[in-house]
Amino acid sequence: MAYDGAASLPESRSSADPREQYAERAAIGLLGSLIVRDFPDGTRAVVRIVETEAYDQLDPASHTYRGRTERNRAMFGPANHAYVYSIYGMHHCINVTAGPDGFGCGALIRAAQPIEGRDVLAHHRYPASDGTLTAAQRRNLTNGPAKLCQALGIGMDLYGHDMSQPPLRIVPCGLEAGESVARTPRIGIRKAADRLRRYIIMGNPCVTPSPLNAGARDIEN
DNA sequence: GCCACGATGTGCT
DNA sequence: GCACATCGTGGCT
């Protein structure tokens, strides 16, 4: 069943720590922005961010909740840098750090829309060019955090990378006319699962397929 | 289209 | 040990 996202927003409680806004504002602000990836072989791909999640050290679901470690140190560094981690042994995911130096927070980039270089993305995801992909493969090019990382060739070599610089950079862009942001619970977590810290461009076909999408509600502001 | 399940590394209890 | 901010495949409707 669809949950009513607007009925009870945990973030609207007056006791919320104002520092929670660092990750949330970053996650919302990244929607619509472009990721430009220049590959070592000279090829390029451009995708548009359509789905993000907010995480910070006050949040039990976050890697930074238990404090700074060697693994998560990038999250405690300056904003707009890459925190890359490996998960389930075979995948990578990328966060863009946010907030002031010393506060562990950032936004997980969950999904993006291919803008340029579809063929390049396809080659990194499958041993095939875009034209030979099945319909399912085309849908699944960049619609999940690990799929996105595979398509963009993001691995631990980009850990701590400054996201304003090549070969992986974010070009800030706003939403297009008529687009709006919705929020839902985050996907695939158990702790703090009720918090509405996942943000999507409403109605965009490239977000992670999830029953949560049907109940997504427009955010106010 | 949907669901179940297996593959696998790493940090932390 | 075990829990993971996951995904691909195969088998089925």
What are the extents of the domains in chain A? 11-210
Q: Residue A41 above 70 pLDDT?
A: yes
Residues of A 148-207 whose CB lies less than 7 Å from any atom of strand B: none
Q: Cβ of A7 < 7 Å from strand B? A: no
Calculate Rg over the CA atoms of chain A. 17
The CA-based dihedral angle spanning residues A71, A23, A189, A187, taken in that order and rounded to the nearest 10 degrees: -120
Instruction: Calculate the angstrom distance between C1' of C1 and CA of A216.
Output: 38
Residues A125/A118, Cβ–Cβ less than 8 Å:
no
Q: Tokens 């993001």 appear where? A: A154
Residue nearest to nucleotide B6 (CA to C1'): A88
pLDDT band with cut points at 50, 70 and 90 for residue A15: low
Across all residues in chain A, what is the average pLDDT? 90
The burial class, CB within 10 Å (0-12 / 13-18 / 19+), for A108 is buried
Cis bond upstream, residue A167 (ω within 30): yes
pLDDT band with cut points at 50, 70 and 90 for residue A16: confident
Output the pLDDT for position A220: 63
Instruction: Calculate the angstrom distance between C1' of C6 and CA of A126.
Output: 17
Q: How far is CA A56 from the centre of its chain?
A: 14
Phi, psi angles (nearest 5°) of residue A130:
-55, -40
CA distance A214 to A190: 20
Supply A61's token pair.
């679901």
Chain B: bases < 7 Å from a protein Cβ: 1-2, 7-13
The answer for residues whose C-beta is within 8 angstroms of residue A126's C-beta and 6 or more apart is A133, A137
The answer for residues whose C-beta is within 8 angstroms of residue A66's C-beta and 6 or more apart is none
Q: What is the pLDDT of residues A78-129, one digit of tens each?
A: 999 999 999 998 999 999 999 999 999 999 999 999 999 999 999 999 877 8
Please tell me the CATH superfamily of domain A11-210, with its number.
Answer: Methylpurine-DNA glycosylase (MPG) (3.10.300.10)
Q: Cβ of A1 < 7 Å from strand B? A: no
Q: Cβ of A70 < 7 Å from strand B? A: yes
